[in-house]
Amino acid sequence: MSGFAPDELAAVVGAAHVLTDPDVTERYRTDWTGRRTGRADAVVRPRTTDEVSALLRCCGRAGVAVVVQGGNTGLVGGSVPAVEADGPVVILSTERMTEVGAVDTVEMCVGVQAGATVADVQRAAAAAGCHFGIDLASRDSATAGGIVATNAGGVHVVRHGSTRAQVLGIEAVLADGRVVRRWSPLRKDNVGYDLPGLLAGSEGTLAVITGVLFALGEPRGATAVAIIGCDTADRVFELVAAVRRGGLTVEAAELMTAAGIDLVVAAGARPALRSGPRFQVLIEASGADPADELATVLAAAGVDDAVVEAGPARDLWALRERHTETIAASSATVPVKLDVGIPHRDVDGFLAELEQLSADVGHPCRPVVFGHVADGNLHVNLLDVPDGEQAALAHRVLELVVARGGSVSAEHGIGRDKREWLPVVRDGADVDVMRAIKRAWDPAGQLNPGVLFP
């Protein structure tokens, strides 16, 4: 085969699973934001690891680039092809690889295919009396392979760590079709390099993840959720520390601002507080009698503007979880979305600079910031920014982040959007090692070209 040959791909997965009609492939070629629609010759939908292996061998022989796609909920353009791609490209969708294995309640783990959704994994874990440590608003679409490939975080990183920390084993297909499989429930296994850990966060550039063995935890105890009005981020950090000192376990701590709350309330969410403080922080905590304990801790800390409800308190969570979609629907242009990490001591300073920048920039720019504040992870959304101004504005915001020793990507990855930042925030030797790793796994540069590296 030379170049793109749909018949060879169809021989592997069946003709029904090689989609070439541009109208049909559009939803796979377009990212969640709708900002970019890339070019691809086909979307292929394998069912098994063997099929992925055969597909990669075909594509390798023919020089066809492969863009791996899970739930396509990424926000940095990492799971869609480039708009300007000149060579042949296929999107390999894992949407048919949805098997969830039996939960092992002795070893406390579950093996799933890459296309199983986060919600599938959560349900399987809960049905077996276990708990999966990852949760995020896109749980019904985001997939196991996708959250590993991006090392996704979500709302419980403060408690359980990011996705990498939940990965016990992995099955992945190399660009040449060989399969790397580390699939042991052992918590301790110091034999050589941590390849599953390396694939976590590799953004589809090293191998195609086909299966994941996730660690599970004990079921959570009772939870309570508070929404608390605050004027500074420093105060938020004080309160999180107070909740911990009070003997509760912090399961989540999410910052919202008045601007974001106003949007989601206007879109129908039930407001939690009567006043309109600058920040509202959602703290979820577990403990023996968490609602009472949380109320006591907050009162002792001098909080007079808060509601506390027994978990799961879905209405309170809805205020936070409706942010992304409401922002998308409320902005005159596709919002600028920047996922940044800021040291705790710098959060107030950074937010003040961001407000100043948005006011001074000389074109429409409505900032809405929210995020996983206990991780120092802020989602900076800038609404109504004219298309021609977006790149320059994003650059200026990320400069503020870097000046404060922050991260230009706390949990969403680099994708296509932030690749010019890689050599800015990682030094020369570091980038050289990353490039050498890329060459070792994918010598022809066939997997997700244009993602991660400038």
State the minimum distance, in angstroms, from the CB of residue 235 to ligand 2HG.
Answer: 22
**DSSP-derived pairing of the beta strands 223-230 and 306-310:** antiparallel
CA distance 178 to 176: 6
Min dist CB 96 to ligand 2HG, Å, is: 26
Q: How many helices (H) and strands (E) does the chain have?
A: 16, 15
Q: Which is nearer to ligand 2HG, 52 or 149 (CB)?
A: 149
Tell the smallest beta-carbon distance from residue 337 to ligand 2HG (Å): 5
Report, in this order, helix, strand and coil percent for the chain, each rounded to 5: 35, 20, 40
Residue among 67 and 137 whose Cβ is closer to ligand 2HG: 137
Query: Is the CB of 97 or the CB of 121 nearer to ligand 2HG?
Result: 121
Quick count: other Cβ atoms within 10 Å of Cβ 303? 18
Of 89 and 137, the one with the shorter C-beta distance to ligand 2HG is 137
Min CB(324)–ligand 2HG separation in Å: 3
If you write DSSP's letter for every residue of 209-226 in order, what string do you get?
EEEEEEE-BPPP--EEEE
Q: Which two tokens stand for residue 199?
A: 């694939």
- In whole angstroms, the minimum distance from the beta carbon of 340 to ligand 2HG comes to 10
Q: Which strand (E) or helix (H) includes residue 346? A: none
Cα separation, 117 vs 99, in Å, equals: 10
- CB atoms inside a 10 Å sphere around CB 446: 20
Euclidean distance between CA atoms 149 and 199, whole angstroms = 6
Instruction: Quote the least distance from Cβ 11 to ligand 2HG, whole Å.
Output: 39
**Residues in touch with ligand 2HG (CB under 6 A):** 137, 324, 337, 379, 381
Residue with smaller CB distance to ligand 2HG, 18 or 282:
282
Give the DSSP letter string of 274-314: SS--SEEEEEEEESSSHHHHHHHHHHHTT--SEEEEETT-H
First-to-last C-alpha distance (Å) of the chain: 30
Reported as type and span, the H/E element at residue 91 is strand 89-93
Residues 240/372, Cβ–Cβ less than 8 Å: no
- Relative to beta strand 65-69, strand 89-93 is parallel
Give me the half-sphere count of Cα atoms (radius 13 Å) on the Cβ side of residue 32: 21
Report in angstroms how near the CB of residue 339 gets to ligand 2HG at its nearest. 6
Q: Closest approach of Cβ 137 to ligand 2HG, in Å? A: 5
Residue 328 Cβ vs ligand 2HG, minimum distance, rounded to whole Å: 8
Nearer to ligand 2HG, 273 or 328 (CB): 328
The residue (of 151 and 210) whose beta carbon lies closer to ligand 2HG is: 151
31-60 core/surface letters (b: 16 or more CB in 10 A; e: else): bbbebbbbbbbbbbbbbebebbbbbbbbbb
- Closest CB 283 distance from ligand 2HG, rounded Å: 16
Task: Pick between residue 296 and residue 333 the one whose CB is nearest to ligand 2HG.
Answer: 333
Do 439 and 431 form a contact (C-beta atoms < 8 A)? no
- Residue 113 or 324: the one with the smaller Cβ distance to ligand 2HG is 324
Beta carbon of residue 206, minimum distance to ligand 2HG (angstroms, whole number):
23
**Residue with token string 């004219």:** 386
Q: Are the beta carbons of 40 and 28 closer than 8 angstroms?
A: yes
- Say how far apart CA 217 and CA 206 lie, in whole Å: 29
